[in-house]
Amino acid sequence: MRWWTACWLSAASGWPTADSQRPGPSLLSLTAFASRDMIVVQPLPRIMKPNLVYRTAKALARLFYTLYGRWEIAGAQRIPADGPVIVCPNHISYLDPPLVGAAIPRECRFMARHDLWKGSFMRWLMPRIGAYAVRRGQPDRAALRQTLEYLKQGYCVVIFPEGTRSRDGRLQPAEPGIALIVQRSGAPVVPAAVIGADRMLPPGSRRLHRTRLKVVFGDPLFFTPDAPRQEVTAGIMRAIGDLLAHG
């Protein structure tokens, strides 16, 4: 199980992480047994609607990061309150997706690696927390179509342009697909910087550490449909780098 998924589950179930105290009874009808290497979860009742699962998990994730990570959010007002928008953060930890999702003041959709859909519970959970699958390392037309459809419906879509985590915390080159999505959708792009998540969960570590966290959102970027893809990609990564440098 990946750590960002475990973080959502711990927030939703009240499961304690390292050095933390159990926050009390779960707000969801979900029970979990945690050992060093395993979490066994009993699914939520069918009556719980997907958007309620999302909102509850998000609220508990915010509580978790506030109490455990002492986090700070800056610039969230720069994210349009409605309409299509792409949020592009840097990627330094498995904790980034729930951290960014909890910081955004509207419901989001997340592009996530396809191998997270393992087991009946994960197949049930992933779409309910806004995730949809992408196959990395190859052109995934289905993921592209799904992304464009979500944007057409007016969603906020979170895409990590680097495609995978940075092992040393430095910003990596962007995958070329982000420019294609921006061009075809015409949606504004809000750059974002995640700071501290790699200290809370260092690469290769299985233990969470208390540390300060910060998520900074920049001003929306607008690109014309005929803008060169290299220019789109460079503009997004430059904006993320500026936020990291001054965040």
What does CATH list as the number for 49-246? Answer: 3.40.1130.10
Alpha-carbon distance of 189 to 208, in angstroms, equals: 31
Alpha-carbon distance of 34 to 151, in angstroms, equals: 37
Q: Which amino acid is at 207?
A: R
Give how far the C-alpha of residue 116 lies from the chain's centroid of Cα atoms, to the nearest Å: 14
Q: Which amino acid is at 191?
A: P
Can you give the pLDDT of all 247 residues of the chain as single tens digits? Answer: 444 444 443 443 333 333 333 333 332 333 333 333 333 444 444 545 558 889 988 998 898 888 887 899 999 999 999 999 999 999 999 899 999 999 999 999 998 888 888 889 888 988 999 999 888 777 789 999 999 999 999 999 999 999 888 988 899 999 989 999 999 999 999 999 999 999 998 877 888 888 999 999 999 999 999 999 999 999 999 999 999 998 7
Q: What is the pLDDT of residue 54?
A: 92
Residue 80 gets the label, from left (phi > 0), alpha (psi -120 to 50) or beta, of beta
Q: Which amino acid is at 210?
A: R
Judging by DSSP bridges, how do beta strands 85-89 and 189-195 pair with one another? parallel
Q: What is the pLDDT of residue 159?
A: 96
Alpha-carbon distance of 163 to 192, in angstroms, equals: 15
Q: What is the pLDDT of residue 125?
A: 87
Q: What is the pLDDT of residue 215?
A: 97
Q: Are 48 and 73 in contact (CB under 8 A)?
A: no
3-state secondary structure of 93: coil
Q: What is the pLDDT of residue 221?
A: 99
Q: What is the pLDDT of residue 194?
A: 97
Q: Are 99 and 197 in contact (CB under 8 A)?
A: yes
Sheet strands (E) in the chain? 31-34, 39-42, 71-74, 85-89, 108-113, 131-134, 156-158, 189-195, 213-217
Q: What is the pLDDT of residue 50?
A: 58
Domain boundaries, the chain: 49-246
Alpha-carbon distance of 2 to 7, in angstroms, equals: 9
Q: What is the pLDDT of residue 146?
A: 96
Q: What is the pLDDT of residue 87?
A: 99
Q: Which helix (H) or strand (E) holds 233?
A: helix 229-246
Contacts of 72 (CB under 8 A, 6+ apart): 212, 213, 214, 215
β-strand partners of 195: 214
Q: What is the pLDDT of residue 136?
A: 74
DSSP alpha helix (H) spans, 2-139: 3-13, 50-64, 96-103, 119-128
Q: What is the pLDDT of residue 213?
A: 94
